[in-house]
Amino acid sequence: MRRRGRQAWLISRAQSILDNMHCPFCQNPDTKVVDTRISDDGHSIRRRRECPKCSKRFTTLETTMLLVVKRSGNVEQFDRNKVISGVRKACQGRPINEDDLKMLGQKVEEDLRSRGLAQVKSDEVGKAILKPLRDLDMVAYMRFASVYQNFENLEDFQRAIDELKGASSE
């Protein structure tokens, strides 16, 4: 019960940070984001905003929480390192180093945060991993996709391979 209460608090807090971005000049509640940068540790976002009413620009440093809703219904803070450790196994024996993994973790986080949502489903995290992993290494991608997407038979693999061929000839 206490745990649920904390989760609800986390969600409403994250949402209120996103919602309450008034213009500091004219208090207009509606502001437009013109540039977004995520800090290296992934815990804060610097946004350049513009007020559509008075046209003034200002910068906000937001430490918004990105929450992941797991299949069990539990909610936890997004952790880039969990993405990396989830992918690492699929990368065994492949020419992928720690820097590649770090970069992948960053891309996944940027993708998820760019959606502007306070929470995402764990499935969405898995999906966000697929594309950057495909760009990194096809074999690691196939390994990860086969587990993540529950490949059960040869047809599943064949379909994924066909998709890969289609994607690489684009």
Using CB under 5 A as the binding rule, whether residue 30 contacts Zn ion is answered as: no
Radius of gyration of the chain (CA): 19
**In the window 31-50, what residues touch Zn ion (CB under 5 A)?**
none
What is the C-alpha to C-alpha distance for residues 53 and 81, in angstroms, rounded to an integer? Answer: 40
Using CB under 5 A as the binding rule, whether residue 25 contacts Zn ion is answered as: yes
Binding Zn ion (rule: CB under 5 A), the pick from 54, 61, 139, 147 is 54
Encoded amino acid at 121, one letter = K
**Site size for Zn ion, by CB under 5 A?**
7
Using CB under 5 A as the binding rule, whether residue 60 contacts Zn ion is answered as: no
* Nearest Cα to Cα of residue 141 among 95, 90, 104: 90
Q: Specify the residue, 51 or 112, whose C-beta has the smaller distance to Zn ion.
A: 51
What is the C-alpha to C-alpha distance for residues 61 and 134, in angstroms, rounded to an integer? Answer: 32
Binding Zn ion (rule: CB under 5 A), the pick from 26, 33, 161, 167 is 26
32 token code pair: 């437009």
Interface residues with Zn ion (CB under 5 A)?
A: 23, 25-26, 28, 51, 53-54
